[in-house]
Every structure is written in C-alpha cells, then in structure tokens.
Chains A and B, each alone.
Chain A
C-alpha cells in the first residue's frame, strides 16, 4: 500500500469522479466530501509516513511508459512537493465542503475531483513528460469550471486563460524535448527523468536558452509581469471555488516548477538571470500592488494581491540560498492558504449580494461581525503580520534575497508597505463606516457551511505562523539538497560564489540543533 500511495493519491479521485457519474444528484455532495476527505487523510498519512530527515525523493514509483525514449511513469515526493500536495487535497476538501454553487452540483464535484487528480499528479511527477501531461490536463477542468459556472464574460476569460497558459507550456515542452535530446547526446540514452537530468551539466549558453524556454511556460503560469493579465479575468469570471483552487494551487505550479526544474537544471543560467528576474519580481510586487489599490471590485483586489505575493515568492526562489528558497516554498503554502481563504470570503459576500463592488458595501463590520473578524485575520495574514503564516515566508524570502542584493531587497521590501495600503483601504471601504445601503442591513452572518471552510484555514494560518517548524523543517532539508546540487553543478565563478556551499556549513546547523 505504502509503495503505491502516490499512484493511489493521484488516481483515487479520478476513479471516484468516474463513479460519481452514477451517484444520485441529492447525495453527490456527501459523496464528494467523503472522497475528498479520504484523499485528504491519505495525504496526511503521507505526511505521517514521510521521513523529514531524508532530503531526497521518497515513495518513489516507476513503471515504463515508452522505454525507447526513456519516458517512464515516475513518481516521488520530497519536502518541497509534499506540502503542496497536502495543500491541494486540503483545498479540494474545503472547496467541496463549503460549496455554495447550486447549478449542476454534480458536474462541479466531478470536475473538482478530476482537477484534484491533475494537481496531485503535477506535484508528484518526476518524469518530465508525465509532469507535462498533468500540467496541461489541469487546464481542462479549470477551463470547464470558468467556462460553465463563470460570470457574463466567462467564455472570453476561460479562452484567454487556456490559450495563454497553453501557449507558454508549448514552449516549455520544446525546452523539455531539447533537454532530453541533450541528455541523449551526452549519455547515449534517452531519459525524461528529472532526477537523471539533475546529473547533467550543460554548457552555459545551452542553459540560458533552455532556461528561457522553461521560463516562458512557468512565468505565464505564475503569472509574472507582463504575462499576468489573464489572471484578473479568470478570477473575475470564475465562480468562488474556481478562484480558490486557481489561486491556492494552480498558480503554485509555476513557482514549484521553478524550484523543481529551473534551479537545479540550470544553476548558471539561474545566476545569470537572477537580477533580471528579480527586477521583474519587484515590478510585479509594486506595480500590481498599485493596481490592486485602484480596484473597485474586491475580488480583483485579492486577485492582484495574489500576483503581488507571487512576486515575493519568485524573489525568494531566485535568492538561490537556503533561506530564500525555503522561504519561497513556505510562502507558496502560506499564500495558498491565505489567498484561498480570501477568495472564499469574497465568495461569501457575493453569494449574499451578487456584487463584488466595494462601493456597494460599507459598514459590514457591524452587520456581519464574524465575517469581518475572519476577513480581518486573513487580511492581516495577507499583509504579512508576524505570527501569521505569510510572514514566515515573506521574511525568509526577503532575508534570502538580501544576501544577493541590498538595494533590490530594499525596493522589494516596499511590498510590506504597499500591501498594507491596498488591503487596509479595501477593508476600510467594505467593512468600516456606516451601513449606507439598505440591502446591507439585513445580511446574515456566516453560516455553518461557510464556517466549516473558513475556520480550518484560520487555524492553519495562525498555527503555521506561530509554529512553522513541522512544515519548514522538511522543506529546509530538501531545499538544502537542491542548493548543494546547484552549487556542485555551477560552473561560472559567479555562480559558485552566489550559490552557497552547504557542506562546509553543515557543522553549524548541527550545532544549532543541539541547542
């Protein structure tokens, strides 16, 4: 059982979704919750069985698919992917449990379960082709969710979402094929296994081209400036559940792929592109924060804030040291929790008022105190207050990048100011002041279904903010091995210098652990 737990995790929801077609309409919700619940517990079990002291891949599975070209069904997880998988199952569960959609619930739940399969698949895949297949497959359910349950502009939004990300990933596919070809040239055998690729040291100019090819695919997914414009449309039109999954998990695919592919495969190119990407990240952070400040629609505020936070994640990733990369991986989890929760919260008010314009609200704090409290907590988490989950990630990401550049970090640090500006002003517009609109006076506070979804998120947001160790430690161990690999592979003197060598400093770590 333990040998195939990853396959089980991937295909159990898909199988359950197939069976879902024959489940009756009125019991589909219970069925969905049960399936997602089992899946979630499976993933928790995975965590339980995971050995945090091992930095390499665990629960590896392999089966040949196309042996002639070295394409294998290869799965495995490490500390970096483990928690994103748990996050995916967690959010699917929460999404189904707090589903308020009334149109075609059955189709929605089946779609969500399929989506869950693709998400877990992406994060568990260790073969580039398998990874790519799941990566592309994940577009389909999301396209369906936006296109079938979305707002008035849903067709435009979903087509834009699909084509944009698809175009990017095609370039990425070409990159993958080239990578495999180079591997073939170097070794004489074909392989699409990422772990095999890790062992390959490419000349720097090849690295740069391949890096760019991979970058396009990832950057559109993240989405990085200036490829970000599909996101506000997708969020604006998607139903609540779609936005939640999109923000919490799907965007993380891009940043995860940076850590999984770009960094260890192309260490020299990563150093080469570090500053340009950092500048893009800083533009993302500040520019989208400003755009968020100008929004009138509260969902768009959250959508743009997502982009802004993704900028911090990218910055941390390209810090290329343990602090920064661990921080950025942690921030992926953190941002997943926080932005997912914020989208759920926006969904709550949309269900009641069928509008997302902040000018329609005002004074909600006195009408819906519980809602205001949870929103406030999540907003503060999003702003990055210490002892909330986001702070740990943001602090470590910025701390890591500070090693590389003082000025850029100082500029990126403006994130904590501009972040506070748009969030607080949005909160003020929606929740403070007098209740000005007649319709708002009789709004009902959060009901049980909504609390079921939100309270666990609040708990996680604070728990991991106060005690991030259970998550941070496995992440740290895996990131250390990635960084060490990068250092060993790096060829240029600059790269050797910028990427720290950990084997020397191992002594210090063990000393600190002895404290």
Chain B
C-alpha cells in the first residue's frame, strides 16, 4: 500500500516536473524543474531497491550535470525568456502521444514480460551496493573500464572544446595583443556566419 502511494505520488510529481521542463519558456524554470524531476526519479530507484543507483542518480544528475547546465545557462545568458519559433505544434504532440501509446501497447502485452529471463540473479542476503559491485567488477569489468575511459575522453573533450584559448592568459597580455586577438576572432566569427 505504501509502495503504491509512493509510486503514484512520485510518478505524478515526475511527470509534472518534466512537463514543465519541456513546456516552459523560462530557462531557469526548466532547469529547476528538471533538477527536481531527477531527484524524484531517484525515489523510484529507492523504491525498487536499487539504493546504489538512486545515490548515483542524485550525485551525478543533480550534482554534476545540473551544475554544468547551470554554468552553461549563465554562459549563454538564457535567463530571460527563450524565444522559439514554433512550427506545427500539433504534430509534435501527436507524434509524442503515438509513440507513447505504441510503447505502452508493447510493454503491456504479456509476451514481453514473459520472455525475459534473468542472466545474473540477485543474490539473496547481500546488500545492493555489494551486489552491484560484484557484478560490476566481474561480468561488466571491461565495459566499466571503457566507460571510465569514455568519461575521461569526454572530460578532456569538454575542456578542449570549451576552453580553446586557455594557453593565452589575458592578464599577461599587452593591450595591442588583445586587440589583435579580438580582431582575428571577429573575422573568424564573420567567416563562421557565412
């Protein structure tokens, strides 16, 4: 009973939050609503007994990802209203609804749930974190390492892309040099626009 109440509550909350994220024209609202949604999702993980996953969800999403987005937002200066051109809004909703109906139809069909078999059954009497750790570092060791490398690559890529001119320190530069640099950047921009 408690589980049911919790599920419906968090489901409603998540849906509302994400809907706000998608529909609002205020970037700040969107960001906040999403952060909230992420936390509500972690609640499902806790309900499902995936404690470790829930923790990760909160740390990574609400901690890291949202922080990144917040910085991004500041950078792009999207604190004011976002102006977006809307073309054929009905189609968007129709397609979305259709996709949802299809997926629901598939998952509701008995054939799906009957055909799934457990490959790595959860061991009894072992805590979630421990179990996760055992599977992660045995069966999924290689993917785990690859994921680590990927994260590293992503980090480096993020740094390189965002901070192209990190080798140049404006404080140590002479005025003329800064002028020249700006001039070249502007020509770059013009070229980029073409």
A/B: CB atoms within 8 Å of each other: no
